[in-house]
Amino acid sequence: MNILLIGGGGREHAIARALRLSPSSDNLYSYPGNPGIWQFAPKAEIQKFDFNFIIDFCKSNNINLVVVGPEKPLADGITDILIENGIKVFGPSKQAARLESSKGFAKDFMARHNIPTAKYKIFSEEDKKTADEYLNTCKFPLVLKADGLAAGKGVIIAQEIQSAQQTLDSMFDGLFSDAGKTVVIEEFLLGVEASILAICDGKDYITLPSSQDHKRAMDDDLGKNTGGMGAYSPAPIVTESVMNKVHEKILRPAIEGMRAEGFPFTGCLYAGLMIHDEEPKVVEFNVRFGDPETQSVLSIFEGDFAKLLYSAACGKIDTSAIKNSSNKHACCVILASEGYPDEYEKGFEITGIEEVEKTGAIVYHSGTRLNEGKLLSDGGRVLGVTGVSTTLKTALEQAYNAVRKINFSNMYFRKDIGKKAL
């Protein structure tokens, strides 16, 4: 089958690799891709990021499946438009994508279907006075979330009332543009986080191995929230008993609820969990693969990934496309630019990748670009160095040994990825 992959980060590099390794994939294109992805999924000739140009490319290249990596085009309705044009897509419709594009929608949906999550209230700009009064009744810490997409930055944890009030004011004043004009205020959950990725066909789903991200910028979970500084898979916190609850209380009701409400979910449903005393609650839903979770999860995937996604896009998951026998572990360490998630410099030459690839570790490109044959850093998150082995300990060793061989000015990474799980 011929496939077009939309997106250009580390997550898409991992998806592209898994698609390339799939027996059922033929021509594989990426748009916009990145230098890592282009090694095995050349850049599609699409003039600009416009759905009509994407449709034209699909039609003239006999594309059988479009796989959408990032949330933005999904929230903008790329799936709906491609399907109207007879093109199969792995990714939810605009309506279904509201599970991520509107935190308020997701919270109300969970309430309607008794899916465990933090207690919450939703306020819009017009309710500012009521919101202020409500803050006076809350326990701290307290979590304030911009309703709309805010590139992973729209969540602020307030330790006391003054900072909660300030945060609320600045959100209503446009801190996150329109995304923050509606705010979800929710209870702070204690516990350990984990991520579950479910491949869904609208009626049914199958889960990939569990994983754990490291959201904070610095070791010991200090510093600001980032897009994710590293991840490993599987995550031992997700025991069999936790996973049974995830199926029974979260994934099954979510898939059935979306279908019953008239927007069946096709694509990857990402459940971000907080687990306390073996009880999982949903911190967030995303409607796409996680980044950097995917770099770990797909590095240990065994089966025909292209066939799996295609079958889901066609409405009937082919469970034979996934082998459940993998006993491998993976760990991805993000190499970032010093300063991320705030200001950082880019454009520094990256060396050592070829050396690393000889050791069996995988290097996923997140923010890189080519300039006159040289590979340069081009983002906050630059590379995802991933070790794969039979134990988490040896996967971690492989990843960190590989990290030592890579170099660029202002390279920054966490030294404690996966440490808590050992």
Q: Is 311 in the site for ligand GLY (CB under 6 A)?
A: no
Amino acid, single-letter form, for residue 92: P
Q: Per-residue x/- mask for ligand GLY, residues 178 to 217, rule CB under 6 A?
A: -----------------------------------x----
Residue 228 interface partner, choices ligand GLY, ligand AMP, none, CB cut-off 5-8 Å depending on type: ligand GLY
Instruction: Return the one option of ligand GLY, ligand AMP, none that residue 291 interacts with (CB less than 5 to 8 A, by type).
Output: ligand GLY
* Binding flag, residue 293, ligand GLY (CB under 6 A): yes
Size of the site for ligand GLY (CB under 6 A): 7
Q: Which residues pair with 279 in a beta bridge?
A: 276
Backbone angles phi, psi at 144, to 5 degrees: -115, 130
| Site for ligand AMP contains 155 (CB under 6 A) | yes
- Could you tell me which residues come within 8 angstroms of residue 300 by beta carbon, excluding any fewer than 6 positions away? 209, 233, 326, 328, 329, 330, 388
Phi, psi at 47, each rounded to 5°: -60, -45
With binding defined as CB under 6 A, does residue 318 bind ligand GLY?
A: no
Position 303 contacts ligand GLY (CB under 6 A): no
Up-side HSE of residue 413: CA atoms within 13 Å toward CB? 23
Identify what 77 binds: ligand GLY, ligand AMP, none; CB under 5 to 8 Å per kind: none
Q: Which of 12, 71, 147, 284 binds ligand AMP (CB under 6 A)?
A: 284
Angle 103-112/252-260 helices, nearest 10 degrees? 100
Q: Tokens 């006999």: give the residue.
A: 62
Work out which of 122, 275, 283, 334 binds ligand AMP, going by CB under 6 A: 283
What angle is formed at CA 421 by the lines to CA 211 and CA 288, rounded to 5 degrees? 10
| Among 213, 195, 197, CA closest to 308 | 197
Residue 215 in contact with ligand AMP, rule: CB under 6 A: yes
Write the CB contacts of 52 (distance below 8 Å, at least 6 apart in sequence): none
Is 11 a residue that touches ligand AMP (CB under 6 A)?
Answer: no
Q: How far is the CB of 134 from ligand GLY (least distance, A)?
A: 27
Interface ranges with ligand AMP (CB under 6 A) = 118, 143, 145, 155, 186, 188-189, 193, 215, 225, 272, 283-284
